[in-house]
Amino acid sequence: MIRWLKIARAEIVRDLKTSLRYPLELGTGIFILYVLFMGMFLGAKVIAGRASTALSGNLDGLVIGFVMWFAAMMAINSVSTDIEYESRQGTLEQVYIHAPSFIGLTWMRAVTHISLGLGAVIFLALLIQLTTQHWLHLTWATLPATILVFALTIAGLCGFGLILGGLSMVLKRIGQLSALVQFSMLFLAYAVFLPEPWRSVVAHLPLAGGVFLLKKLFTPGASFADVAGGTAWLALDSAVYVVIGTLVFAVMERLARKCGMLGHY
Amino acid sequence: MPLVATAVEIRELNKTYRGIMPWTRSAVHAVRDVTLSIPQGEIFGLLGPNGAGKTTTIKMIAGLIVPDSGTIEFPAHGRRPRLGAVLEGSRNLYWRLSAWENIMYFGEVKGVSLRQLKQQGLELLELFGLAERRHRPAQTLSRGMQQKLAVVLAFLGDPQLLLLDEPTLGLDVASSQTIQELLKRLCRERGYTIVVTTHQMDVAQSLCRRVAIMREGAIALSDRVDALVDLFKRQDYIVRLDSRQWAPLAGELGGFDFELLPEERDGQVSLRFKLRSAQEVYPLLAAFGRHNAELHDFRQELPTLEGIFLSVTTNNNGLPVAGAPHGEGQR
């Protein structure tokens, strides 16, 4: 346990130093996301036209969906794109040799990376709310449930990311697949606007269920009781993604070692 | 004679690569029936041309590649020793991190205590001449320094077994020699077991006590370097004498197999005699004596590891061949 805490510290320091060494890159990344959101927001405004009440009724979903999409991409990338990058850089084999467990290290990296990235998620959420002058209704009463739903959603996404991470160990170049996932996640982030029965179907896919519940939680007067059942389903869905992701990752890791391609790029 | 423990025991190791896609299923036999015993506390060289199977073997030892069959055991260390490795040279580093940050990161992942890490990290950086530049990002260091840093990282946490894949490849002579000297020193002083792969024979000869020469995935020859030199030793002698004395001697030496070497300097010529046995040295010296020839040099020409390597990797049986040692047996 102490060893893992030390590894967590090492990962946090590495992540921070790597990001802060090039602050422009970090800032530009957030700025691009902000511009992207504003494009969507203004586009929606133009389309909504005079029916501005329709837009304001959906602004919660627009903001939550976008912020969660950003968090989702961060979670997925922390376990998939990072493996591809490390493989290209040549450090993957080193960490594989020295870490007590490779999948354990991958999970640890996801946790530390997302923990650090939360700052960026919150900053982006605040910036968007400030610009749109539309504030999400978050209360102390719903805060624990919001954190729980967020954590479960991210855990499921990490599980999904492990599938991609496993594939990247064997197939190496999964850039196009990552792009496809990125767009799919954008769709799932806004699945909240889908009509029934499609809404109930996609609720079990990564990200979508979490966004539905968060939207409910940000409704004035909401309480945990309103989302208890949905949270139980979300926990089950996320557990399934984590188990499947872990299994696929383990199989792909074994296959990569069998084919001698762990360090290939 | 003290018993030397075995650090790595490899038995009948085999590895065939097959692609995972149906159109890439053609087999490449990378390693065939490799059996090796690597003693503890020595630098062991795994030599061979490109594609001989060195890197596959070393990665199987590291657990990065799963063998198809065969076993790898670490009798002196139990199930799995503490490993240190340089497998991709300077690509082993996080380029955005400084040398010191790389040390702290890899040290903590290896499980080295913070206190030991700070002490050992600084000590190794000083030893490798990197202490002054420890706060510079790795990507701004020269190629040689990056390579040294990769070796420093491998030494963190006192590994029981170090696996170095081409640790001096692409380095200038000075950097290469610095790394070689430091590896020898650390092995001598701290008893590290080091397995090094290289196709630079001068590096292998300078570093290794024992070597195995691989060819097409198999071990062609494995022994101590001095034993290999002995095995490949021929009765070749180099003689240097004044050019003026050479002409009158030429007729006298007709009974010997010799050649005049092209180099001529300071008014002296060099001759290479290929004798049939060591006993022939006496009549040869007697012939020089009869002419009162002043010999500036008279020495047996010993084979270099490079010569042995070429002999092993370019003929069919991996043994001394045409013009090779008289009376040497197969090994």
pLDDT per position as a tens digit, A19-55 = 888 788 778 888 888 888 888 878 777 776 655 555 5
As for the ipTM of the complex, it is 0.84
Report which secondary-structure segment, H or E, holds B271: strand B268-274
User: Does the pLDDT value for residue A263 go beyond 80?
Assistant: no
Residue A100 CB contacts under 8 Å (≥ 6 apart), including other chains: A3, A4, A7, B111
Q: What percent of chain A has pLDDT over 90?
A: 31
Instruction: Give the pLDDT of residue A78.
Output: 85
Q: What are phi and psi of A190, to 5 degrees?
A: -110, 15
Interface test with A, best of B29, B69, B94 (most A CBs within 10 A): B94
Question: A97 — contact with chain B (CB < 8 Å)?
Answer: yes
Interval B212-260: pLDDT, tens? 999 889 998 888 888 887 777 778 888 898 888 887 787 888 888 888 8
CB contact under 8 A, B64 and A96: yes
Categorize the per-residue pLDDT at B324 as very low, low, confident or very high, splitting at 50, 70 and 90: very low
Average pLDDT for B26-36: 90
Q: What is the mean pLDDT of residues A227-237?
A: 93
Q: Which residue of A has its CA nearest to B104?
A: A10
C-alpha radius of gyration, chain B, whole number: 24
A23 contacts on B by Cβ (under 8 Å): none
Distances (CA, A) of A217 to A138, A143, A158: 8, 9, 23
Grade residue B172 by pLDDT with cuts at 50, 70 and 90: confident
Is the per-residue pLDDT at A57 higher than 70? no
- Number of A to B CB contacts under 8 A, please give it: 92
- Closest residue of chain A to B24, computed from CA coordinates: A259
d(CA B230, nearest CA chain A) in Å:
37
Residues of chain B above pLDDT 90, percent: 37
pLDDT of amino acid B178:
86
Mean pLDDT computed over B3-7: 81
Single-letter residue type at A58: N
Q: Nearest CA to CA, how far is B307 from chain A (Å)? A: 32
Note whether B30 contacts A: Cβ–Cβ < 8 A: yes
The span from the CA of B300 to the CA of B306, in Å, is 17
C-alpha span between B177 and B2 (Å, rounded): 31
Burial (CB < 10 A; 0-12, 13-18, 19+), residue A1, is exposed
The owner of tokens 């979670």 is A75
Put simply, the answer to whether A259 touches B18 (Cβ < 8 Å) is yes
**B62 vs A: CB within 8 A:** yes
Amino acid identity for residue B255 in this structure: G
A142 vs A224: CA distance, rounded Å: 6
Query: Hey, is B312 helix, strand or coil?
Result: helix
Helix axes B99-110, A2-21, angle to 10 degrees: 160
- Name the token pair of B133: 């530049």
Query: Is there a contact between B210 and B44 (Cβ–Cβ < 8 Å)?
Result: yes
Hey, are the CB atoms on B30 and A260 less than 8 Å from each other?
yes
The pLDDT, as a whole number, for residue A226 is 86
Query: Closest chain B residue to A6 measured between Cα atoms?
Result: B108
A17:B19 CB<8 A: no
pTM as predicted: 0.81
pLDDT band at B3 (very low <50, low <70, confident <90, very high): low
On average, the pLDDT of chain A sits at 86
The beta-carbon neighbor of A170 closest among B20, B30, B83 is B20
Q: What's the rounded mean pLDDT across residues A125-138?
A: 83
